[in-house]
Structure 1
Amino acid sequence: MKITLFALPLLLLSSMTSKPDSNLNVSESKAGITKTLFGTFPDGREADLFTLQNANGMVAKITNYGGYIVSLTAPNKAGKQEDVILGLPSFSDYAKGTPSLGPIIGRFGNRIGNAKFTLDGQEYTLPANNNGNTLHGGPKGFDKQIWKATTNDGKEPVLILTYLSKDGEEGFPGNLNVEVRYTLQKDNALRIDYKATTDKATVINLTNHAYFNLSGLKRDILDHEVMIKADKFLPTDEKQIPTGELKPVAGTPFDFLKPTLVSAHINDPNDTQIKYGKGYDHCWVFTDKSKSLKLGATVYESASGRFMEMYTTEPAVQLYTANNLNGKLTGIGGVPYTSRFGLCLETQHFPDSPNKPDFPTTVLRPGDTYKSTTVYKFSVK
């Protein structure tokens, strides 16, 4: 029997196996990767939790259900390891459906306008799950799937997740074979490598939707200082679909070329784009157009001293400031996740690219291989 996770009764969810490991005090001397049972669906499907640790004591906990990053720690300036992403206490919390707290996003990250696109003369209709648009691959996207998992142990442990997205899944054409590799590097960086092939022309735009909070989840992210190496951004209409314009950031609330507090312009009452997004929920276009791994953004939180660098091969990044979190979700320590309690740096191609021929193409054809890499590196200053 097929189960739709969003519709699971609370009674069934409460019966799921759920033994999250929230202990962050892992030995600082033993690098490697371990596997434990994260939870079991009523139909018997199991999800595992993989704990990756490097020699510095940094820990990443990732489940093969949707590829969610459940926990990621980083040291503050006193050397204390604390969580720096928003995670949930138990497997059942993830199974209920969440606002994308750290999963793999696909087949197409961000929005496709009017839930349809035309490719090679054929129109494809997708499920509309966001103001008449398709968001993050649809309601049963890659974040709602059990992925096959393999591991490589060692000083830089690797979790390899693979998934076959079948032709027609969520309306997208082609059998798409996807591989996502999470590597916890010895330099305190979490590296994510994406790879995919198809047997039929399709569109693809993979990313991860982790919400970062460098304070150690002690307060919101308004005092985080952000730099984005992008001289243009994509204005949207009221439904948050790009208009097609690449607008210079100069003189706008979207200028993060120099490190700027998130709070500086996020509530600008005179900016229409801020109004449309209820804050920042826009795509920045990197000044560096190369496909090499390049510095795209940095985030700094002065109280903890944590500094995060984001490197990517992608042409753009979506900065999202948790505008729609409302305090109904709570983290492992019982902290309510309210608006502005995290920020996402979703590396990607441009939203609605399948409907915008002037945007960089997101078409993948048989015989070609989609590849993308993003690195989140942590240090203190």
Structure 2
Amino acid sequence: MNANTITVKNWGEVDGKHILLYQLCNKNGMTVCITNYGASIQAINTPDKDGNMADVVLGYDDVQGYVNDPYYTGAIVGRFANRIDGGLVTLDGEQYQLTVKPGGFHHHGGAIGFNKKVWTAKHFAQEGKTGVILQYISADGEEGFPGELSTTVTYTLNNKNQLTVDFKATTTKTTLVNLTQHAYFNLSGQAGTSILGHQLMMPLQNYLPVSPKQVPIGELEPVNGTPFDFRQATAIGERIEDNNEQLILSAGYDHSFVIKTEDFDGLLMAASVTEPVSGRVMNVYTTEPSVHLYTGNFIEDNSPGKNGAKYMRRGGLCLETQHYPDAPNHAHFPSTVLKPGKIFKSKTIFEFTTNTI
């Protein structure tokens, strides 16, 4: 391949709305497929150390798979990713009750979050890159949130094998925003296999321990001396079954790690993941203050996937860049409040390369 191309195909209908699948391709032959259902990443084909291409994300062959999906596979999560204890929030002196799960917490945007919405989309091609711009307008009061929220996510693939995810959001009333991309990665390219052998490095000093509701208790806990220390590359499976209260509570890793304690626009490294056999490496950079590590602990074995694959528990790894969970209940956490006239912005880069050593 010697050109950046984009193709679009009809992918069916949901609620009478057209669903499209966009394939972005760079000059190296790397491809990324995006659908406007849930603004989801459907596929990422990237080379291993020998140049062999394979798909490194979990997903489905058709839109019905995403309609039925219980795992937020590949989707954009919003308005508020992760959890808010109790779901009762106060903004500008007014209380709002957000949609809550039976456990007593708001989760991943509510009963019907951004992952189950049809987004409007348009594609673009520029020198050295191609992309898709998707927009969803969330009505005032949707899932209990105040304000009409206009959210745009732009996916861009360049010739450095970088997939950039840019968020922008504006609101008509003071509201809460915490957006994330929820792709499940398996860098082996072998669907239906475990990610426990992936080597994870996160240059991060602290993580957020959680309550039995899996909601942060408000403390920033040092990773030193714990199974949460990934400052040196470590196999994900090396300590995941340790007799550690936090790992037991969450059935594995399902925790946020602190990248920064104050908001600023600069990109910082969140994580680097290496799959030793294929040699594939994914580096993650973000402007967000935290990254949530989820090791697919609740994927059911034999879950249906692409091309006849059967996905397994811990068969995919999420690195969800976002603000801290439960931020509205912790004044010392970076704020997730968005006011009218202000623009929420966020950038995350997923960079794919190989390690031949």
- TM-score bracket for this pair, using the shorter chain length: over 0.9
* Counterpart-to-counterpart distance in 1, 2:194 and 2:222: 28
Task: Letter of the 1:87 partner, please give it.
Answer: G
Cα offset for 1:135? 1.0
Instruction: Return the letter of the residue paired with 2:346.
Output: S
> Is the Cα–Cα contact under 8 Å of residues 115 and 126 in structure 1 kept in the other structure?
yes
* Number of the residue aligned with 1:50: 22
1:345 corresponds to which residue? Answer: 319
Q: Deviations over 1:342-368 (max 9, x none)?
A: 100000110000111111111000111
Which sections of structure 2, spanning at least 5 residues, go unmatched? none
CA distance in 1, matches of 2:221, 2:49: 38
* One-letter identity of the residue aligned with 2:158: Q
Q: What does residue range 1-381 of structure 1 map to in structure 2 within 5 Å?
A: 28-41=1-14, 43-129=15-101, 131-154=103-126, 155-218=128-191, 219-269=193-243, 271-286=244-259, 290-381=264-355
Over residues 82-124 of structure 1, what are the superposed CA-to-partner deviations in whole Å (9 max), with x where a residue is unaligned? Answer: 0011011211111123311110111001111112212222111
Give the Cα separation in 2 of the matches to 1:338 and 1:116.
35
Question: For the aligned residues, what is the CA RMSD?
Answer: 1.3
In structure 1, the gaps of 5 or more residues are 1-27
Partners of 1:175 and 1:200 within 8 A in 2:
yes
Residues 55 and 130 of structure 1, relative CA distance in 2, 3 Å threshold: farther
Q: Give, in whole Å, the separation in 2 of the partners of 1:161 and 1:251.
A: 43
- Separation of aligned partners in 2, 1:88 and 1:29: 29
Q: Which amino acid is 1:361 matched to?
A: S
Corresponding residue for residue 21 of structure 1: none
Question: How far, CA to CA, are the matches of 1:122 and 1:130 in structure 2?
Answer: 24
Distance 1:130 1:244 in 2: 22
What is the TM-score normalised by the length of structure 2?
Answer: 0.96
Report Cα offsets for 1:168-190 as digits up to 9, x if no partner.
01110111111100001110011
Contact kept in structure 2, 1:232 and 1:285, CA below 8 Å: yes
What CA distance in whole angstroms lies between the structure 2 residues aligned with 1:366 and 1:55? 41
Q: What's the CA shift for 1:330?
A: 2.0
Structure-1 separation of matches of 2:153 and 2:17: 21
Paired with 1:130 and 1:225, the residues of 2 have a C-alpha distance of 35
CA displacement at 1:130 relative to structure 2: 6.0
**Contact 1:229–1:287 at 8 Å: present in 2 too?**
no
CA contact (8 A) 2:280 2:354 kept: yes
User: In the aligned structure 1, how far is the partner of 2:172 from the partner of 2:3?
Assistant: 42
Q: Deviations over 1:252-285 (max 9, x none)?
A: 110011111101111112x110011100000000
Alpha-carbon distance between aligned partners in 2 of 1:235 and 1:40, rounded to the nearest angstrom? 42
Alpha-carbon separation, structure 2, partners of 1:273 and 1:102: 26
Do 2:259 and 2:268's aligned partners in 1 also have CA atoms closer than 8 Å? Answer: no
Between the aligned residues of both structures, percent identity stands at 45
Secondary structure of 1:153's counterpart equals strand
State the shift of 1:217 in Å: 2.5
Aligned partners of 1:105 and 1:208 also within 8 Å: yes
Q: Which residue identity does 1:73 align to in structure 2? A: N
2:143 is paired with a residue of what secondary structure?
helix
4+ aligned runs moved over 4 Å, structure 1: 287-290
For residues 137 and 130 of structure 1, the distance between their equivalents in structure 2, rounded to whole angstroms, comes to 15
Q: How far 1:153 sits from its partner (Å)?
A: 1.8
1:288–1:203 Cα change, 3 Å: closer
Quick check: 273-282 or 89-98, which moved more? 89-98
